Amino acid sequence: PAMITAQNIAISYPGVKNGPAVIQDINLSIRDGSIVSLIGPSGCGKSTLLKAIAGLVPPAKGRMDIAGVTPQEAAQRRLVGLVFQEANLLPWKTALDNAAFLLQVSDKSIPANEARERAAENLRLVGLGEALTKLPSQLSGGMRQRASIARALTLNPQILLMDEPFGALDAITREEMSYLILDIWERTGKTIVLVTHSIDEAVLLSHEVHVMGVKPGRIVCSITVPLAFPRN
Ligand code: ADP
Ligand code: ADP
């Protein structure tokens, strides 16, 4: 079944008067439990499409459906977790508190110790089990990004959206992070949508690659890839 469907989506930003659509004619169907990559040149609308899926930007046209509800509704139910290029951790909080606080502020009914338990579990999943009490300044860039992935996973979303999650990392760390994503996918079965500039990364990491073009921003071709990673 589809986890995300987009039909004829067009988006223009407000303030850009009668703005030309930043993206248009977007049709997508993303299967539950699959990994999908969006690639394309800067400015083609990859982030905009991700923001629309996250319920942060309303489409000007078309229909978008996330697990049977609108993107706004999906965001309210915390069906979607986000990871950005920058980890954006709070510098005065430990890795554990950083991973726990988003869940705590977004669901006051969850007791603090339960949020911290879930955060610790996800930090172990991303390989930071030994770093729970470290501050962001004591972590490498790759470790900070792992902590931001744990923060998103602690919301227990069905969908993980990642916008250039390794864009700020060196090549070796990027490769480690690629395998981390496959590992997370294998263990959790989440639907993952990844924005990347790297065709290598897209092909290694996804079941389907959507290539976007610019002016107008739209999907120009979609490629189905047999996952290269050995899995069993
Ligand atoms: P990509 O992620 O592929 O680099 P974006 O989705 O960030 O592309 O941007 C697509 C286009 O929309 C670009 O031309 C960008 O300048 C424009 N854009 C992005 N965000 C806004 C905004 N908040 N207001 C106006 N224009 C925007
Ligand atoms: P990225 O390529 O990673 O999306 P950008 O530098 O294009 O990074 O965008 C950074 C932020 O600025 C985003 O939140 C985007 O929505 C916003 N933005 C991008 N272009 C514009 C624009 N032309 N007008 C207003 N905001 C923009």
Per-position pLDDT tens, the chain of length 232: 899 999 999 999 876 666 788 999 999 999 999 999 999 999 999 999 999 999 999 998 999 999 999 999 999 999 999 999 999 999 999 999 999 999 999 999 999 999 999 999 999 999 999 999 999 999 999 999 999 999 999 999 999 999 999 988 999 999 999 999 999 999 999 999 999 988 989 998 999 999 999 988 999 999 998 876 555 4
Question: Half-sphere exposure of residue 61, counting CA atoms within 13 Å on the CB side?
Answer: 13
State the closest ligand 2 atom to the C-alpha of 84, by its place in the atom list counted from 1.
3
Where do we find the tokens 């989506």? Answer: 9
- Cβ–ligand 2 contact at 47 (below 6 Å): yes
pTM: 0.89
Tell me which residue has its CA closest to atom 21 in ligand 1: 13
CA distances from 48 to 5, 45, 158, 187 (A): 16, 5, 20, 29
Bridge partners, residue 23, by sequence: 11, 217
C-alpha of residue 45 to centroid of ligand 2, in Å: 10
The token pair at 128 is 């930071």
- Cβ–ligand 2 contact at 196 (below 6 Å): no
Ligand of minimum distance to the alpha carbon of 48 = 1
Tell me which residue has its CA closest to atom 19 in ligand 2: 43
State the closest ligand 2 atom to the C-alpha of 48, by its place in the atom list counted from 1.
16
The span from the first CA to the last CA of the chain, in angstroms, equals 23
The token pair at 20 is 């030309």
C-alpha of residue 196 to centroid of ligand 1, in Å: 15
- Cβ–ligand 1 contact at 46 (below 6 Å): yes
Tell me the pairing of strands 80-83 and 2-11.
unpaired
Residue 21: per-residue pLDDT? 87
Beta-carbon count within 10 A of 171 CB = 8
Residue 215: per-residue pLDDT? 84
State the closest ligand 1 atom to the C-alpha of 51, by its place in the atom list counted from 1.
6
C-alpha of residue 167 to centroid of ligand 1, in Å: 17
Q: Does ipTM surpass 0.85 in this model?
A: no
- Cβ–ligand 1 contact at 24 (below 6 Å): no
Cβ(129)–Cβ(80) under 8 Å? no
Tell me which residue has its CA closest to atom 15 in ligand 1: 43
Q: In what order do the strands lie in the sheet with 35-39?
A: 80-83, 159-163, 191-195, 35-39, 208-213, 218-224
